Amino acid sequence: MSENKYLAALKESIVALDFAGVVKLAKEAIEAGVDPNKAINESMVPGMAIVGEKFEKGDYFLSELVVAAEVMKEGLKVITPYIKGEGAQKLGKVVIATVEGDHHDLGKNIVTSLLRMQGFEVIDLGVDVATEKIIGAVKEHQPSILGMSALLTLTMPKMGEVIKALKAASMRQKVKVIIGGTAITQDFAASIGADHKAVNALEGVKKCVEWVSSPGRRN
């Protein structure tokens, strides 16, 4: 099989959510001498982009988005060890967390996976993360973006608490803040001083890319 055929087949395995196929093809492609960087950037990443388009059109749902990300991870496990050098330059750094009192991680994890696939370095603090820990992570890692998630109405105010703490620590101007969660509204985001409320994972990731790609980016 030619390199182009391998690249096309790998891409298709992501779109088709084919766990077994992606691993088999990734192994065969590497054995056939396909450039691992090409396999990722010209095949698997575009495959995820197609999944994203299908999601936006309503042909695919969250379940397919999650499974596609997992299929891609399986493929990456095979291919990544063959990448020489430092690989591509990171697009930007993101600290992400589900706020204190909230253990929901589905949305946060999807955003994390999609950000990493886009080339971001993501420091995922996990769920039920105290305000002080988030502030500590922003101080330590100096990300260009802070992402916060909350599903519960009860835990939403914690996001405002974090933004207040960022201001108190004179860090608010250094980091963009994006928030997400079912109960979050644009009004709420505005009321706590967040920069953006993600409509869904894909839209949120697009906003992050836009921020770091625009002139005068903060990282």
Footprint of another protein (CB under 8 A): 17, 19, 58, 61-63, 66-67, 69-70, 101, 103, 105-106, 109-110, 152-154, 156-157, 182-185, 187-188
Q: How far is the CB of 110 from another protein (least distance, A)?
A: 7
Task: Show the tokens assigned to 168.
Answer: 């108190």
Whole-number minimum distance, CB 101 to another protein, in Å? 7
Nearer to another protein, 4 or 153 (CB): 153
Closest distance of CB 199 from another protein, Å = 11
In the bound state with another protein, the residue whose beta carbon lies nearer, of 45 and 127, is 127
C-alpha–C-alpha distance, residues 119 and 117, integer Å: 5
Task: Tell me the closest approach of the beta carbon of residue 142 to another protein, in angstroms.
Answer: 27
Query: Where are any strands of DSSP class E within the chain?
Result: 92-98, 120-124, 145-149, 176-180, 196-197
- The neighbour count for residue 37, using CB atoms within 10 Å, is 15
- In whole angstroms, the minimum distance from the beta carbon of 184 to another protein comes to 8
Cα 69 to chain centroid distance, Å, stands at 10
Residue type, 51: V
C-alpha angle 107-121-66 in degrees, rounded to nearest 5: 30
In whole angstroms, how close is the CB of 21 to another protein at the nearest point? 12
3-state SS string for 95-142: EEEEECCCCCCHHHHHHHHHHHHHCEEEEECCCCECHHHHHHHHHHHC
Residue nearer to another protein on the CB measure, 175 or 205: 205
Nearer to another protein (CB atom), residue 69 or residue 135: 69
| Cα distance between residue 170 and residue 17, in whole Å | 45
Is the Cβ of residue 182 or residue 213 nearer to another protein in the bound state? 182
Q: Which is nearer to another protein, 38 or 73 (CB)?
A: 73
